[in-house]
Amino acid sequence: MTTVTVELLTVPEVMTRLKLGRSKVYDLIRSHRLVSIKIDGARRIPVDAVRDFVLGQMEEAA
């Protein structure tokens, strides 16, 4: 059996990492530019999704 470990971040943690406001983080989630999941009403963002978002932004800027 394979064990998968995924680190999940809260919206405030993503806000801190990306230096963005709450509204902007939710805008990114709503527009599907930042992947997230809901767990019983709590929004969580995988660390890999934040990394992928930043890498995508860097590619667009290049």
Which structure tokens are listed for 17? 């990492």
pLDDT over 90 (residue 62): no
1-54 tens-digit pLDDT: 778 888 999 999 999 999 999 999 999 999 999 999 999 999 999 999 999 999
Please report the pLDDT score of residue 5 as a whole number.
84
- Edge-first strand order for the sheet with 42-46 is 8-9, 42-46, 37-39
Please report the pLDDT score of residue 2 as a whole number.
78
Please report the pLDDT score of residue 17 as a whole number.
97
